[in-house]
Amino acid sequence: MTDPRRRVPRTDVVLADPRLADAAATIGRAAVKAAVVAAQERARAGQLAPEQVADAAVAALPDTVGGLRPVLNATGVVLHTNLGRAALSGAARKAVVAASGHTDVELDLRTGRRARRGRTALAALADAVPDAADVHVVNNGAAALVLAATALSSGKEIVVSRGEMVEIGDGFRLPELLQSTGARLREVGTTNRTSVDDYEKAIGPDTGFILKVHPSNFVISGFTSAASVGDLATLGPPVVADIGSGLLRPDPLLPGEPDAATSLRQGAALVTASGDKLLGGPQAGLLLGDATLVERLRRHPLARALRVDKLTLAALQATLTGPETPTWQALRMDEPTLRSRTQAAADRLAEHGVPVTLVETQAVVGGGGAPDVRLRSCSLSLPHTYGESLRTTTPPVVGRVEHGQLLLDLRCVPPESDDELVAAVLRVAGRS
């Protein structure tokens, strides 16, 4: 009898399959060949029929060459840190693709000479915040604060309220971050109450600047008080306001969230913020304010290590000048539209016998912003056992579990992806 292992197709024969040949052009020949070899080994072990090798190799191919898998965010958290915070707008995505080749990022095409890096993105940021005399961009919000502390207070004191000594996530704490720059912290006030007098008494010849931090990932209520940026701006030293979430101007949806324009008008010499939160753009750190201070930061040696790449600059500019971002579309989604989409999905699933109900829920801003804001929402409620299977399907669907039920909130799911989400649930339920 002929050994069936002899019928396992040769590697070159399998690689000639049009599906695998096309994949090699997208994700690379090495990844495709590895999938083929693995399928051949399964066939030799008797786990596959020899004629199934090509199909098995195709099924095992990675989704993308980059390793990051696009997911459907059905958590009800608009800026989910574990899912990459802000989803870029279509305009920003196109800008990233356009910038992925050679660009004029530091070249004046008219003169043929070197130009300021990212000048058009910086101009767009300056136009968006006209109260800032100058602007600069680094690679994230923490980097913006580190650059300010290093350039303005290394070897000096930063005066900051005890109630604003926050942990910014993943175990990173603001005091340790600032102390790593060589600055000394002069803590004033108490956890719940800090007055202008507390700051004034701490100011001396060693003061580099006064730091005002928005505690954007928690809320303290009750017997509390805090000094405003306007109050602190009268004390002499420059005030650096870390507003955190990147709101550039006031918005009625988030009345308690500080914004860059207001902070500058109140007298902040420098405002630092993130670009991938409420701004809805790529990960970046924004520095806005006094022209002399911004230039001082821009020329500091550390600025080179913290600079952003051309893809970030392109996405940032498109975010600032393009249409409304997915972040704000999700935040402002009206309830009737969301309910209609959710009900339609529930009806389709119920038709196939999936145990689903529509329930009232609340969504949140997330990303360390507006922790006290709750958005009225609704969700699909499924057995919690669907959770892992939905996370590992294609595309992965990520929800949240509450009271033993898996909730899928469509607020952050693009409307054109509703069919994908329904199809994923049907596959998991064995109804596809």
Residue 411 near residue 338, CB atoms below 8 Å: yes
Give the right CATH number for 72-84+328-428 from 3.30.420.130, 3.90.1150.180, 3.50.50.60, 3.40.50.1980.
Answer: 3.90.1150.180
- At residue 7, the pLDDT reads 85
- At residue 1, the pLDDT reads 45
Range(s) within the chain of domains with CATH label 3.40.640.10:
90-323
**Four-residue CA torsion sign, 46, 51, 54, 56:** negative
Q: Tell me the pLDDT tens digit for each residue of 159-218.
A: 999 888 877 766 778 889 899 999 999 999 888 888 999 999 999 999 999 999 987 556
Spatial neighbors of 178 by CB under 8 A, at least 6 apart, are 145, 146, 149, 158, 160, 185, 211
Continuous H helices in 28-173: 29-44, 53-60, 90-98, 119-128, 141-153
- Which of the residues in the chain have pLDDT under 70? 1-5, 63-66, 169-170, 216-222, 368, 432
Residue 327 near residue 78, CB atoms below 8 Å: yes
The secondary structure of 14-65 as a DSSP string is HHTSHHHHHHHHHH-HHHHHHHHHHHHHHHHTTSS-GGGHHHHHHHHS-S-T
- At residue 6, the pLDDT reads 76
Q: How many CB atoms lie within 10 A of CB 320?
A: 22
Q: Tell me the pLDDT tens digit for each residue of 249-259.
A: 999 999 889 99
Range(s) within the chain of domains with CATH label 3.90.1150.180:
72-84+328-428
- At residue 216, the pLDDT reads 59
Residue 390 near residue 54, CB atoms below 8 Å: no
Continuous H helices in 250-385: 260-265, 291-298, 301-305, 310-321, 326-331, 335-351
Q: How many CB atoms lie within 10 A of CB 34?
A: 15
Q: Tell me the pLDDT tens digit for each residue of 360-402.
A: 999 999 876 777 789 999 999 999 999 999 998 888 999 999 9
Q: Are strands 369-383 and 405-408 parallel, antiparallel or unpaired?
A: antiparallel
Could you tell me which CATH class the domain 90-323 is placed in?
alpha beta
Q: What is the pTM of this model?
A: 0.86
- At residue 279, the pLDDT reads 96
Q: Are strands 400-402 and 397-398 parallel, antiparallel or unpaired?
A: unpaired
- At residue 26, the pLDDT reads 81
